[in-house]
Amino acid sequence: MPQRYNTILETIGQTPCVKIHKLAPKHLNVFVKVEAFNPMGSVKDRLALGIIEAAERAGELKPGQTVIEATSGNTGIGLAMVCAQKGYPLVVTMVETFSVERRKLMRFLGAKVVLTPAAEKGTGMVNKAKQLAQQHGWFLTRQFENEANPDIHSLSTAAEILQHFSDIPLHYWVTGTGTGGTLKGVSRVLREKSPGTQIVVSEPDVAAQIASGIPQARNTDGSPAASHPAFKPHAMQGWTPDFIPKLVEDVMLANNIDQNIPVSNAEAMSCSQQLAQQEGIFVGISGGATFAATLKLAEKAAAGSNILCMLPDTGERYLSTPLFANVPSDMNQEELSISLSTPDFQL
């Protein structure tokens, strides 16, 4: 039957689960969930739709009201799409060090982007969003503590994963931590519906906040009071801000993390390139990081294990980052040789 959608928002979700062949050990079954198939290219499209529609149902978001959020980029891009379709003005706050592509995409979609100083880290952009929301009466989406975030992942992402593995057991599910929405929403469903599945989380090795065991200092509203002492800057944009989001802390307190695997910047970028060049799967640094953690897990997993790795976004978000630093735009020597080897011919 013809497949037609009423709006672009109906295309969010139902992303594919793809088996890895060349990069995975032969005695295991490694799959990836490719969230780049969402309309704006990342898992955060789910969050954006879930939070906005939950606010509409609750009467918290009024027609024409401005929406504001602090974001590393993907949530802002998803929100820009949702707000454009629904008719809400959008303002995002973002640390100035995040990739230029992200701010251009949001502005192209009609959003206003307010950059915050790098020295203030993620906490600074969150505080700026709160200040602007209070000052102007804008709707603050609060992605790092809003329960509508994990709720949409329980309803969509987790349900899709259970469907992917309805005929075979899922032994391990691997994810990184950003807002904590994917982690909390999926892990609680797997604990109930697939209790044999281990929840595996990965963090940057220089910002292993969960592994540190140090609690996050919080304000009375649950927001971070200051940067977490275990944080250092890292390359995984969208992963592990300088604080532990409340949604991540909820998962920690529920003991819903079975393993925690640290990953370096170099490992993340290497795996992103390997996925592109050996599997034809184009993801960003965070996707490479999650896959690097998956390969580390695979070294110890029992033969026949089924592993699912989340790949959060597309590599196109990273063209101006170190991920593409060694990819030339001009012909290299080998390409010049190919060009010069072409014999003369006449049309």
How many residues can be counted in the chain? 347
286 is catalytic: yes
Query: What is the model's pLDDT at position 182?
Result: 97
Q: Are 201 and 184 in contact (CB under 8 A)?
A: no
Mean pLDDT within 167-190: 97
Domain with CATH 3.40.50.1100 in the chain: 8-37+156-324, 44-140
Identify the residue whose tokens are 């609060």.
Answer: 142
Tokens of 287: 């996707």
Mean pLDDT within 81-109: 95
Mean pLDDT within 29-58: 98
**In CATH, 8-37+156-324 is 3.40.50.1100:** yes
Cα radius of gyration (the chain): 21
- Angle at the Cα of 261 (from 172 to 275), degrees rounded to 5? 70
Count other C-beta atoms under 10 Å from residue 225's C-beta.
11
The active-site residue, picked from 44, 128, 130, 246, is: 44
154 is catalytic: no
The 8-class DSSP code of residue 301 comes to S
The active-site residue, picked from 154, 286, 296, 305, is: 286
Give residue-wise pLDDT tens across range 275-313.
Answer: 999 999 999 999 999 999 999 999 999 999 999 999 999
Which top CATH class is 44-140? alpha beta
Of 218, 221, 180, which is closest to residue 199 (Cα–Cα)?
180
Query: What is the model's pLDDT at position 84?
Result: 98
pTM (predicted TM-score): 0.93
For 309, half-sphere exposure in the C-beta direction (CA atoms, 13 angstrom radius) is 31
Instruction: List the 112-116 sheet strands across, edge first.
Output: 112-116, 90-95, 67-70, 139-140
